[in-house]
Structure 1
Amino acid sequence: MPDRSAGQRRSAIEVSLSVDHGGSDGQDMGEMPATAQAAFARFVRHAVEAARDERGWPVAEVAARSGVSRSTVFRWLSGDWQHHPELPKVRTFCAVLDVPLGVALRALTPPPADAPQPSPPRTDPSVEAHIAAIRDRLADPRTSAADRQHIRATLQMLALAESRAG
């Protein structure tokens, strides 16, 4: 499958974690709470899954193309780190997968525990039903790879349209 340009592609991880809450200077930040480890592990898992689904890249290929060692990628996947991942490694990982660096940094810097949690947005039950149907279709083994790719491309296009509008 030919790669689309970075301007046309928005990975599933970017869609699911599209708000940027801040940055990092890449310095060793000391011990991190488990929530940051879990959030970054989730981010990496989604990014690796998107690379596999969209490009056919296994973890080894993601590691080779990003210059991040396989062992580091696996540590990130498992949340097995005690200090912030190095910014240059995170930057190249994101660049290779066309995921904005802000998405990774958001995962690394969860809001403080005492920060007020936003209330969940009100959604129309019919919209929730459509979203559930899309999830079911993507998870259904009878759905062809072409149909899955079409669904993902449509969702990415809608997410891009939303980000331009907002």
Structure 2
Amino acid sequence: MQRYAVRAADRLKEQHRRTQRWEHSRPRDNRPTNATYLDLVAAASSAQSPDVSRARFAAFVARALTGARDRGMTDTSIARATGVPPATFHRWQKGDFKTAPDLDKIRRFCDGLGVNPAGALAALGLSPERDSPEPDAPLPPEIRRILRTLADPNVPEPDKAVLREMLSLLAERAERGRPT
């Protein structure tokens, strides 16, 4: 009887060891707990990798420099017009930078060459509004409550229609210049 109990205990230990090895060998479940996999993929695809940003910005700088040279500008005249040293914009053209270039230098470069800086910011994966120093003013609590009501799936559609109609009437009234 004792032998049987020892063998049974050994079998249980071996089974436990196999289970542990199997648990550690399988890939972890990387799905997010509060979002879908598609949300995670969409967020990852909207972000631009540093290598892609570097290549796009290098192509942007190359196009801008080609345009400037077609107009007869030399490196020294480009440096004088933009305030950016030739070594810097040649480094940008090669994509030889680790961090994103200084926004002030990018603006001076673009302004000096007559190029839209939004293209440079888009190439770097930035938006022109991102570097805005002034954040939007917070919404009053009444407006947030109205927005939550309009977004709530439990609120009947006729109630939402009334709210939308009232908001459009208030907007028209404000456009005409009447006090609200």
More helix as a share of residues: 2
Q: Shared fold (TM-score greater than 0.5)?
A: no
Give 1 or 2 for the bigger CA radius of gyration.
2
Shorter-normalised TM-score: what interval? Answer: 0.3 to 0.5
TM-score (norm 1): 0.45
TM-score (norm 2): 0.41
**Larger relative contact order (Cα-Cα within 8 Å, sequence gap ≥ 6):** 1
